[in-house]
Amino acid sequence: MITSGETDVFFIFKKAASLIEWLYLAYLKDFIEPLLPTIEIILNILTVFFIVGILIVLRKFIKLRTKERKFYAPVKVEEIKTTNHETQWQIILNHISSSNPAEWKIAIIEADNILDNILKEIGYEGETLGDRLKSAGDSESVHQAWEAHKVRNAIAHEGGMEMTQHEAKRVISLYESVFKRFGYL
């Protein structure tokens, strides 16, 4: 169904088309018709130039996309295989290398937690780390573990315990020796 608004548009379009046709037939036909073969040749030449231009731009675009893919390709990085143990140990070493005495104490407490976990994994019985160390026997590694654990207990139970970085490093080296003995490091 055609509405009155659409009828007006069609009416205006028909009037405009008939006006253009009248202008062409009255004034432009004699001028344009002899030039049509020349205009056709010019337009064909322009069409060829545009097609060649499009092909050149397309080729450059493809080269650019190839370069872009190479540039943004994922970088191949050799996978560094580190164990969780090495990461935990590195965190402890970072704490002990700090100039902050609170971090030295944290390093010792963390190392003691690792020792406790190692003894649990091995299967030593006991409710506390001290009980597990007692059941571990009497070896150089156990003596070193006891010495380090006593320092940890002093830190945990004596809030104001002062220590030097040299002492903290010595205690961490005791833990390191024990960890190596148990195959942790």
Spatial separation of the C-alpha atoms in residues 23 and 177, rounded to whole Å: 105
Q: Of 71, 102, 117, which residue constitutes the final position of a domain?
A: 71
Are residue 95 and residue 169 in the same domain, yes or no? yes
Answer yes or no: is 45 within a domain. yes
Residue 76 domain-assigned?
A: no
Task: Tell me if 23 is assigned to some domain.
Answer: yes
Residue 61 is assigned to a structural domain of this protein: yes
- Give pLDDT, residue 1: 47
Number of domains, the chain: 2
Q: Are residues 45 and 120 in the same domain?
A: no
Phi/psi region, residue 123 (left: phi>0; alpha: psi -120 to 50; beta: rest), is left
41 and 115 share one domain:
no
> Is 127 part of a structural domain of the chain?
yes
- Listed as own residue / partner, the contacts of 44-49 with beta carbons closer than 8 Å and 24 or more positions apart are none
153 occurs within a structural domain: yes
Domain membership of residue 43 as a residue range: 4-71
Answer yes or no: do 148 and 94 share one domain: yes
96 and 61 share one domain? no
The DSSP code for 25 is I
Cα–Cα distance measured from residue 24 to residue 11, given in angstroms and rounded to the nearest whole number: 20
Is residue 25 domain-shared with residue 63, that is, in the same domain? yes
End residue of a domain, out of 19, 50, 71 = 71
Instruction: Give the model's pLDDT for residue 6.
Output: 60
Specify whether 21 is located in the same domain as 60: yes
* 77 belongs to a structural domain: no
pLDDT value at residue 74: 73
The two tokens of residue 119 are: 């003894």
Residues 90-128: b if buried by 16+ CB within 10 A, e if exposed: eebeebbeeeeeebbbbbbebbbebbbebbeeeebeeee
- Tens-digit pLDDT string for the chain (185 aa): 455 556 688 889 999 999 988 888 887 778 778 888 898 999 999 999 999 999 999 999 999 999 998 888 776 655 545 567 678 888 999 999 988 888 888 999 999 999 888 888 888 888 888 888 888 777 888 888 889 989 888 888 886 778 889 999 999 999 899 888 888 77
Cβ contact 107:136 at 8 Å: no
